[in-house]
Amino acid sequence: MPTTKIYLEPSAIKKRLQVVNDALPGIILLFTGLSALLDRGLSQGIMPYLSVATGVIVVRAAIEELRTKKERGGVNWFDISSGIVILIEVVNTYKPYKGFQPAHLLFLVGVITILRGIFAEKWPRRRRVELSEDGLFARTKPFRSIAFRWSDVERISRSPAVLTFLSGEKTFELNLKRVGNRDEVIEKIIEAATERNIQISQLSA
């Protein structure tokens, strides 16, 4: 059979936390913009107003995403624009003659925000399960994966959220407790294993 890729979706709670995380750059922009206006008055040029306006747009977009439960696809331009404004804020506040200062932290936040916007869709796609004719590959975390051949699997123990693959003296565990589409993932793995006459044992919750 051709290789089947199943991308692991975040759970509902994780999606909400991600939306809150998406609002963070906007909160930072609001804080820096309002702080500048309150500390130094209203005649501070366009930068504080740009920070406040961008912050309001980003926070409002995050709240709307949470309310409608609709995810943005592809490149996240809100993050990219927020990151750019944060970097402009860094240029305006950086003082070369000083040592460590808030501008250094803002610079890191700006760069991370831009990169997060560019790779908004690609990064979660790393978490996946691949079913091929030869075996299974699964990446549940950016730096954690399992892989084995179907021919080496003797038995699969199945619980509502965890699959345990027994292969000789080795044991592979696929934990899907925090995966939004875990039922779909488990069913497709079980279907592929059943086609190869691999024994499936059902465990209690």
132/28: higher pLDDT:
132
Q: Is the pLDDT of residue 147 over 80?
A: yes
| The model's pTM | 0.60
> Quick one: angle between helices 12-40 and 77-93, nearest 10?
30
- Please report, for residues 57, 149, 152, 155, 195, the alpha-carbon distance to residue 167 in angstroms, rounded to integers and kept in the order given: 53, 9, 5, 7, 17
Q: CB of 152 within 8 A of CB of 169? A: no
Sign of CA dihedral 178, 183, 184, 185: positive
Say what the pLDDT of residue 8 is: 87
Mean pLDDT of the chain: 83
